[in-house]
Amino acid sequence: MTAARPALPDRHPSEAPPPAVMTAAATAAGPRAVAALDGVVVAYRDRVVLRGVDLAIAAGERVALVGPNGAGKSTLLRVLAGLVTPSSGTVTLGGDPVATLDRPAIARRLAAVPGQVTFPFSARVEEIVALGRLPHEDPFRGPRAADRAAVDAAIARVGIERLRGRDARELSLGERQLVLVALAVAQAAPLLVLDEPTVHLDLRHQVAVMELLADLNEQGGTTVLAVLHDLALARHFFPRLAVLDGGRIVADGPPDRVLSRERVRAVFGVDVALTGGPPGR
Amino acid sequence: MTIGGRTLALARLRGRRPAGRLHPAALAVVGLAALAAAVVLGVGAGSVALAPGDTLGILLRAAGLPLEQTWSAAAETIVLELRLPRVLTAVVVGGGLAVAGATFQGLLRNPLADPYVLGTASGAALGAAIAVLIPVRVALLDLGLLNALAFAGGLAAVAVVYRLGRGGPLAPLTGLLLTGYAVGSLLAAGLAMTMYLSGANLRQIFAFLLGGLEGSSWLRLAMTLPLVVGGSLAILARARALNGLLLGEEAAAHLGVDVRRERGILLGLATLVTAAAVAISGLIGFVGLVAPHLVRLAVGPNARHVLPLAAILGAVLLVCADLVARLLGEIPVGVVTAVIGAPFFLALLRTARGGYEL
Amino acid sequence: MHLPPPWRARALPLTLVTIAALALAACSAGAAPPSSPGAVPTTSIAPAATDTPAPETTASPSPAPAFPLTLTDDEGAVVVLPARPERIVSLTPATTEILFAVGAGPRVIATTDFDDYPPEAVPLPDVASFQGVDVEKIVGLEADLVVAGGNSFNSPDAIARLRSLGIPVLVVYAPDVATVLEDIELVAAAAGEGAAGAALASAMRAEIEAIAAAVAAGGGDRPRVFYELDATKEIYGPADGSFIVEMIRLAGGTAITTGSPTVFSIPLETLLTADPEVIVLGDAAYGVTAEQVAARPGWGGMTAVRDGAIRPVDDVVVTRPGPRLVEGLRALALAIDPTAQLPPAPAPSVAP
């Protein structure tokens, strides 16, 4: 089932140097964008992390959020998930402001795959994946047949059948990441958000995760937003990149346009030319 | 029977593979049977030897069966007024401590947490010590000043820890744990001072600190039962939130758990259960730590299974420990649980796989 | 889980019936122990529940029966004894001695495991130890009177437990000599030996007054006396206002105290400044001798050590609030002044 993906408009805001408040983004993606940030400012007592972020994600998109360390990428994700309240600006999920949604409602619209997770107790893989059904479970009776079926489907979808019955603490980092993705898949939310899912992974697992995301997006219609530090991976696997620098989106569009050599030098402070095939293998 | 069951659990522990998970319902049935056996054993044994037939007869007649009374009034008093309330109190206290321990372990994501980790023990002990110092003898419904102040002290300590531990630069869990440690130490110093000033009443305070079920009576049980059972059921109803916290507070939030609210509610309920248990039985250690731990090893971390099974196991453990304490000449039951629990726990740590990630 | 019905609600009517039946039996048997009216000042004799008997024709003058009896113990609790207790449990060594001294010994069925006097009491079953009171055993022995020690000597919880099960518990606590004598009468009355108790108490009172008068009249001033309880680590002596202070005063000395009613230790400097003229070794039973004391570093400066006035006593008789207290007073008086002229000890009192 492939959701119709809207073509990226030519007037997509991108190369304009900061600061440029861009409200066109929200309008471009449509009023019921899966997720949208509009002029979001996040300021703490001593510093400002996000200085007016505009980002809109339509259903079925696959977006990578890149930027140097400290740019505010993780904060952006947390704002989206309603964990951080912006000082100004609006955040919407599925068209509704996050501030009006309670946590279970948010959980049904957004599934987040955490980057680093520790397991204080030993738990089997399928028990971890089953946690993804929490927002759907009956609070008293617990998981029902539909929930169990969803868990099985998620495990199959992510391709970790061979890990069934294993203690999650004994898995390699790459395998753990896949388990956490399966958890998010089981959650069956329209938007999947990942925060640096490929940290510490070897190349094989990095590629596996990226291909899985592409598969979920293209075959399953899940909207994906991933924070990545690896530009090469982002460029290769994601048709749309948003560059966050100094608390603002300074570029947003296809990798070729966004990751030009000048842009990379300006944002990341290093002079490299990124090569590789176009997105969508 | 229960000792054999524990050995069996240990054996399973050593050769454990995650595939060897036990079915929770089966384990519950076995546990309840063990509990019934332990209760009968506990009621049948004591410093006065009673014929087992008499004991059984007394129990059945009390339950309503029309039996002839072939035993002395003293025997009936011993069984029904002394032993039965005591054993049932052990069931309630053991179960409550285990549930509270399981909750704290899940809340704090720390398998080494026990019901006293946030200062309940020190607060209750200080409350009890102050009560002993006050030269007023009050007793309302079999509960004296000691019980009341122990209860209040336990609750107050955790309330203080909660207020102080929130906010601040540290992550909420770390903040809670460290504040609990600091407040607990302060209260312990207060306790030491109070004990120093207590003079002849030192024994009473010590007896409380070491834990004991000698003062058990039907009235006390009736007062504590609703708090412990009600609190435990309320925690069980929130098992979903506890499960969500398995991967951390942020992951739980993403899964739809209102973390701040649930943390406060679960903390409050678990502390209520602990304080109620401590108020009538003093500080009994290890039950709240070992029971949930063992159960988790057998059935996994799902709170819906862990909470009730831990309650059953905790009850069995305490009934047996109290029986041993009685037969060894009324040594404090906290000593028995420590003597059994500590080496057991060490064995657990040695055979545990992969260490503990916190 | 079905909880059994509240037992107290069921037991109460049962107990009332039992009391009535026992009272009936006691009165009809007419076996009231002889007691001289007014000899038991701390008790009030409740009227019999049934008809009063009229045993005027018997040989011994028998007044109104002593039971059922209502007493107030030393902690203010009201103790009701429906009949003369036949199965008495004593939870302190002092009360054991009292019971045996007033003739209730044959009816004592259990004591503590640290009772040591009289010899007949030692082999009795133990229902209490330093760890506490075995309530279950007491119930199993079907005791009808328990005599316990106040001020937390016996666990207040255990006392409350026993009372809640319908067993009368008489709690005694004597912080001074006068109360010891009152307690002797109280315990004796509870055991149904009121006359013997009154006689013993008045005899002891007379002897104590005689000894006190004798040492006071002996001339000379009261020496400063330090009663050593223990000196293995810190020095422990009498606290202000404690029992020993009074005993020393009665025995003709002035007690050196710790300076506070709640502190039992005294620093060496304070003791040196107080300069005892006599050191009485209350810890002599633990092997402490005069030579050892004299050899302690720093103690040589005390008058008592220079004069060699370090004398042992049996701590038990000096401090135990029981019938042998007079012996203790004698021993203490002689330890303070070996040349004291004390009135001769009367012939050993025979229990009626």
B81-126 pLDDT tens trace: 889 999 999 999 999 999 999 999 999 888 888 898 888 888 888 8
Identify whether residues C42 and C123 lie together within a single domain. Answer: yes
Query: Which of C137, C161, C165 is facing B215, going by the closest CB pair?
Result: C161
Q: Does C155 lie in the same domain as C69?
A: yes
User: Which of C161, C176, C203 is the endpoint of a domain?
Assistant: C203
Written as six digits, the tokens of B333 are 């039951």
Considering chain C, what is the average pLDDT of its residues? 82
pLDDT tens track for C70-90: 999 999 999 999 999 999 999
Taking residues C2-27, report their average pLDDT: 42
Q: What pLDDT does residue C45 have? A: 32
Distance CA C260, CA C270 (A): 13
Residue C170 lies in a domain: yes
Nearest CB to A118 within list B18, B304, B358 = B358
Cβ contacts of C165 on chain B, cutoff 8 Å: 77, 81-82
A141 vs C291: which has the higher pLDDT: C291
Phi/psi of residue C144, each to 5°? -115, 0
The answer to whether A107 contacts B251, with C-beta atoms less than 8 Å apart, is: no
Q: Does residue C194 share a domain with residue C67?
A: yes
The mean pLDDT of B62-87, rounded to a whole number, is: 87
- Shared-domain flag, residues C166 and C247: no
- Name the minimum distance, in Å, from the CA of A234 to any CA of chain B: 24
pLDDT tens by residue, A69-115: 878 898 999 999 999 999 999 999 988 999 999 999 999 999 999 77
Residues C129 and C271 in one domain: no
| pLDDT attached to residue C26 | 38
What's the confidence (pLDDT) of residue A200? 80
Q: Which chains touch B (3 or more CB pairs under 8 A)?
A: A, C
Q: What is the DSSP string of C182-234?
A: HHHHHHHHHTT-HHHHHHHHHHHHHHHHHHHHHHHHT-SPPPEEEEESB-SSS
Decide if C33 is inside a domain. Answer: no
Residue A261's pLDDT band (cuts 50, 70, 90): confident
Looking up residue C78, the CATH number of its domain turns out to be: 3.40.50.1980
Q: What pLDDT shows up at residue B178? A: 85
Residue-level pLDDT at C210? 93
C161 lies in the same domain as C300? no
- CA-nearest of C128, C136, C131 to B210 is C131
Q: Contact at 8 Å (CB) between C109 and C146?
A: no
| Residue C24 domain flag | no
Q: Is residue C15 part of a domain?
A: no
A166 against C152, higher pLDDT = A166
CA distance B48 to chain C (A): 6
- What pLDDT does residue C240 have? 92
Question: What is the side-by-side strand order in the sheet with A110-113?
Answer: A110-113, A191-195, A223-227, A62-66, A240-245, A248-253
* Mutation to test the A interface, candidates B117, B255, B353, most A Cβ within 10 Å: B255
Q: Taking CB atoms and an 8 Å cutoff, what residues of chain B touch A164?
A: none
pLDDT of residue A71: 80
Q: Give the span between the Cα atoms of B314 and B277, in whole angstroms.
A: 12
Of these ranges, A35-49, B5-19, C158-172, the one predicted with the greatest mean pLDDT is: C158-172
DSSP state of B163: H
**C151 contacts on B by Cβ (under 8 Å):** 200
Across the range C4-14, mean pLDDT stands at 44
Using a CB–CB cutoff of 8 Å, tell me whether A137 touches chain B. Answer: yes
pLDDT at B200: 66
What is the tens place of the pLDDT at every residue in C302-337?
999 999 999 999 999 999 999 999 999 999 999 999
CA C292, distance to chain mean position in Å, is 32
Same domain, C96 and C160: yes
Domain annotation covers residue C26: no
What domains, with CATH codes, occur in chain A?
24-113+189-268 (3.40.50.300)
Q: Name the H helices within chain A.
A: 24-29, 73-80, 103-109, 125-130, 145-158, 173-187, 203-218, 231-237, 255-258, 261-268
User: When comparing pLDDT for A32 and C19, which is higher?
Assistant: A32
Which range (A205-209, A212-216, C62-66) has the least confidence?
Answer: C62-66
- Min Cα separation B110/chain C (Å): 33
Asked if C187 and C246 sit in the same domain, the reply is no
| CA torsion angle C119 C120 C122 C128 (round to 10) | -130
Q: Is residue C190 part of a domain?
A: yes
Architecture of the domain delimited by B2-351: Orthogonal Bundle (1.10)
Of residues A167 and B139, more confidence is placed in: A167
Q: Is residue C132 part of a domain?
A: yes
User: Closest partner residue to B81 among C152, C158, C165, by Cβ?
Assistant: C165
Sorting pLDDT into bands at 50, 70 and 90, what band is C114? confident
Q: Tens of pLDDT along A20-37? A: 333 444 445 555 678 899
Residue scoring higher pLDDT (A14 or A244): A244
Residue C199 and residue C89 share a domain: yes
Span C26-40, pLDDT tens digits:
333 333 333 333 333
Over range B55-65, report the average pLDDT: 85
Which of A78, A128, A131 to substitute to test the interface with B, most B CBs within 10 Å? A131
Point out the residue among C131, C156, C160 whose CB comes nearest to the CB of B329: C131
Number of domains in chain C: 2
pLDDT in tens, A127-145: 999 999 999 988 778 888 9
Is the confidence at residue B2, as pLDDT, over 60? no
Residue of C nearest to B199 (CA): C262
Question: What percentage of chain C exceeds 70 in pLDDT?
Answer: 80
| Preceding peptide of B308 cis, ω within 30° | no
Q: How far apart are CA B23 and CA B6, in angstroms?
A: 17
- pLDDT tens figures, C151-207: 888 988 889 889 989 999 999 999 999 999 999 999 999 999 999 999 999 999 999
Contact residues, chain B, for C155 at CB < 8 Å: 204, 207, 214
Query: Is C189 found in the same domain as C229?
Result: no
pLDDT band at B353 (very low <50, low <70, confident <90, very high): low
B215 interfaces chain C, CB cutoff of 8 Å = yes
Distance from CA of C123 to the nearest CA of B (A): 18
Structure confidence at residue A17 (pLDDT): 35
A216/A223 Cα distance (integer angstroms)? 8
Rounded mean pLDDT, C232-255: 92
Range of the domain at C136: 38-48+61-203
A267 Cα to chain B: minimum distance (Å): 30
Backbone angles phi, psi at C112, to 5 degrees: -95, 170
The reply to whether C158 touches chain B by the CB within 8 Å rule is: yes
Mean of the per-residue pLDDT values for chain B? 84
Find tokens 């906010």 and name the residue. B167
Q: What pLDDT was estimated at residue C63?
A: 54
In a domain, C254, yes or no: yes
Q: Is the pLDDT of residue B242 over 80?
A: yes
- The phi-psi region of residue B330 (left if phi > 0; otherwise alpha if psi is between -120 and 50; otherwise beta) is left
- On the 0-12 / 13-18 / 19+ scale of CB atoms within 10 A, C300 is exposed
Model confidence at B168: pLDDT above 80: no
Query: Residues C76, C194: one domain?
Result: yes
Tell me what pLDDT residue A25 has: 44
Contacts of B301 in chain A (CB under 8 A): 121-123, 127
Long-range contacts of B27-33 (CB under 8 A, 24+ apart): B27/B295, B27/B298, B27/B299, B27/B309, B28/B308, B28/B309, B28/B312, B30/B5, B31/B309, B31/B312, B31/B313, B31/B316, B32/B312
Q: What pLDDT score does C61 carry?
A: 52
C98 in the same domain as C71: yes
Q: Quick one: residue A114, left, alpha or beta (phi over 0 = left, psi -120 to 50 = alpha)?
A: beta
The closest alpha carbon to A40, from A7, A5, A82, belongs to A82
Scanning the structure block, which residue is given the tokens 């050995």?
B7
Is pLDDT at A277 greater than 60 in this prediction? no
**Would you call A122 and B301 a contact, using CB atoms and an 8 Å cutoff?**
yes
Q: Looking at the predicted structure, is the pLDDT value of residue B260 above 70?
A: yes
